[in-house]
Amino acid sequence: MKLSTKGRYGLRAVLDLAIYGETEAVALSGIAERQKISISYLEQLIAKLKKAGIVNSVRGAQGGYLLAKKPEDISVGDILRALEGDLNPVNCSEVAGNKDSCSGSELCVTKYVWMRISDSINNAVDTIKLSELIEESKKVMNEHGVIDIDLGEIKPSCGQ
């Protein structure tokens, strides 16, 4: 299974928002610049994330976006599903849990493979919380001199 740029860029955008938006709303232009994502594409991603209840918008001069929930209450799975839809590896009604079954489902043995893969993927992304990614990101940024963990300050970086 491959995630599209929606999932990959969207996860990066939410992580950026979580890190830089701890105290105030974050402008899309800042996320776009740091993550090297076009603003028009980022607007599409943020609209899906807002609809899913992951981010909120703030109007006004100091406006921008904030997380709608605490980082420990948002899983990677929440973000990816908001952007990609379901994460099933194949288009199989048995895997998706649809009431409609295909004509060969009684004799299909491979559906058990797809179900196990789907369960593994969903379990993995649902157990990784945004708060974990924030901590990991801060460690990496500290190691590269982008952030001072003791002060909690993020330094400007041309590579970020």
Among the ranges given (1-5, 50-54, 78-82), the one the predictor scored with the smallest mean pLDDT: 1-5
Q: What is the pTM for the complete model shown? A: 0.84
Stretch 77-105: mean pLDDT: 82
Among the ranges given (58-67, 78-87, 145-154), the one the predictor scored with the smallest mean pLDDT: 145-154
Domains and CATH numbers, the chain: 1-85 (1.10.10.10)
Phi/psi zone of residue 25: left (φ > 0), alpha (ψ -120 to 50 degrees), beta? beta
Stretch 66-74: mean pLDDT: 98
Stretch 48-55: mean pLDDT: 98
Q: What are the structure tokens assigned to 23, written together?
A: 């105290």
In this predicted structure, the answer to whether residue 156 has a pLDDT above a threshold of 80 is no
- Nearest CA to 132 among 53, 75, 54, 92? 75
b (16+ CB within 10 A) / e for 90-99: eebebbeeee
Supply φ then ψ for residue 142, to 5 degrees.
-65, -45
| CB-CB neighbours of 57 under 10 Å | 14
